[in-house]
């Protein structure tokens, strides 16, 4: 990294991120280059936001066209693209309506408000799950049942209670007359790429129906095609009342959305919630381009086969290396649970030109682009395997 870049960050940028000493300058597909001209294979592009890879042509073209016409107008006006975008999402999900915002945390804040607004006033409690992650705003942080994210922030937002992920009996025990909803990631991402036990999501649906609660699926990471279906819940045939989206929603451009049914949507009445830049012309055009590109190139099926290929290449490491506990995931959400800290392996991979991620301290997380080639997938698996072998030796 250039010394002047490091100096600028040291002097002027709030140090709330742990950053690697690398400055990235450009990207194409699953490859990025730093300011020294070094090339990296990126299997965690944009923290999962770049589902079509870096600078996908369809999104670039749509954004370039839009910024020359109209960059931003407030939501006190109509823009055709926002309506078209909402229809595309509705047609591919449960036929509801969309509220647009800028991020996953904002989408989850909207969902939390909607749950409280739609249910009787005395009901305000929301059940979430240990290991879940719902964002960095205070409401979303409170919903995130991980004590490390709560340290120093109290008092937190009232009304959240936490159940072990996968424990239906524990959820039953938390429901009372003040409970308004259940909020869950169908597949936990930051929590370690954890899939729900068989029947668990249906059990939550049944509990919500029995007690008049709203079921919220946080698909900020798992949604938009990453699992091989448009939305993760479609893998389990369990439909939520509310769903939140972000990350890959706009192919790398900032954008978030909350979807809910036509019956529930009016509860988020005018004046109760807003996002100044939400659903702006650029995000809308990028979101539309992303959906159409996924369908044009048959990338939902590609996510399935590519995910199977990567997990198949990595699975033998469980028997080969005692530090690898499990290879798991669905589609292009892939996790390798280790018995050791994963950060040295992430650093070793970066030294070899491979960008990956570690979450929860010991789970290597891969969120590769749908456009990753077979050759790139195999090369990434080989580099990761080499790093694991070196760590194990």
Residue 169 marked ligand-binding: no
Residue 136 marked ligand-binding: yes
Residue 200 marked ligand-binding: no
Give the 3-state DSSP-derived string for the chain, with helices as H, strands as E and coil as C. Answer: CCHHHHHHHHHHCCCCCCCCCCCEEEEEECEEEECCCCEEEECCHHHHCCCCCECCHHHHHHHHHHHCCCCCCCCCCCCHHHHHHHHHHHHHCCCCEEEEECCHHHHHHHHHHHHHHHCCCCCCEEEEEECCCCCCCHHHHHHCECHHHCCCCCCCCCCEEEECCCCHHHHHHHCCCCEEEEEECCCECCCCCECCCCCHHHHHHHHHHHHCCEEEEECCCCCCCCCCCCCHHHHCCCCCCEEEECHHHHCCCCCEEEEECCCCHHHCCCCCCCCCCCCCHHHHHHHHHHHHHHHHCCHHHHHHHHHHHHHHHHCCHHHHCCCEEEEEEECCEEEEEECCCCHHHHHHHHHCCEECEEECCCEEEECCCCCCCHHHHHHHHHHHHHHHHHHHC
Residue 133 marked ligand-binding: yes
Residue 219 marked ligand-binding: yes
Residue 276 marked ligand-binding: yes
Residue 253 marked ligand-binding: no
Residue 100 marked ligand-binding: no
Closest by Cα among 176, 122, 118, 188 to 337: 188
Dihedral sign from CA coordinates of 20, 389, 190, 289: positive
Residue 391 marked ligand-binding: no
Which segments are annotated as binding site for N(2)-acetyl-L-ornithine? 136
Which segments are annotated as binding site? 104-105, 133, 136, 218-221, 276
Which segments are annotated as binding site for pyridoxal 5'-phosphate? 104-105, 133, 218-221, 276
């Amino acid at each position: 990294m250039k010394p002047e870049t490091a100096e600028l960050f040291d002097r002027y940028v709030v140090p709330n991120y742990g950053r690697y000493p690398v400055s990235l300058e450009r990207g194409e597909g699953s490859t990025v280059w730093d300011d020294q001209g070094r090339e990296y294979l990126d299997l965690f592009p944009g923290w999962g936001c770049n589902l079509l890879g870096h600078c996908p042509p369809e999104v670039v073209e749509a954004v370039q066209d839009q910024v020359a016409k109209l960059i931003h107008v407030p939501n006190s006006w109509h823009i055709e693209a926002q309506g078209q975008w909402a229809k595309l999402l509705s047609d591919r999900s449960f036929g509801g309506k969309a509220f647009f915002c800028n991020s996953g945390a904002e989408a989850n804040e909207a969902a939390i408000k909607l749950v409280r607004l739609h249910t009787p006033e005395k009901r305000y409690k929301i059940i979430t799950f240990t290991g879940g992650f719902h964002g960095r705003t205070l409401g979303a942080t409170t919903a995130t049942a991980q004590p490390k994210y709560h340290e120093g922030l109290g008092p937190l937002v009232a009304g959240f209670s936490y159940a072990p992920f996968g424990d239906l009996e524990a959820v039953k025990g938390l429901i009372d007359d003040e409970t308004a909803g259940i909020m869950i990631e169908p597949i936990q991402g930051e929590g370690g790429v954890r899939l729900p036990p068989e029947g668990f999501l249906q059990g939550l649906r049944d509990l919500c129906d029995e007690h008049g609660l709203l079921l919220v699926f946080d698909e900020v990471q798992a949604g938009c095609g990453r699992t091989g279906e448009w939305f993760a819940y479609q893998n389990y045939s369990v439909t939520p009342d509310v769903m939140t989206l972000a990350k890959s929603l706009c192919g790398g451009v900032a954008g978030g959305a909350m979807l809910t049914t036509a019956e529930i949507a009016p509860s988020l009445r005018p004046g109760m919630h807003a996002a100044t830049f939400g659903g702006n012309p650029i995000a809308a055009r990028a979101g539309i381009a992303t959906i159409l590109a996924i369908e044009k190139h048959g990338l939902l099926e590609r996510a399935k086969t590519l995910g199977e290929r990567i997990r198949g290449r990595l699975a033998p490491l469980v028997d080969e290396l005692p530090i690898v506990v499990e290879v798991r995931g669905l589609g292009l959400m892939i996790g390798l649970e280790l018995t050791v800290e994963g950060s040295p392996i992430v650093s070793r991979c970066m030294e070899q030109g491979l960008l990956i991620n570690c979450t929860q301290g010991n789970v290597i997380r891969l969120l590769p682009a749908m456009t990753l080639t077979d050759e790139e997938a195999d090369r990434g698996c080989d580099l990761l395997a080499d790093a694991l072998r070196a760590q194990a030796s």
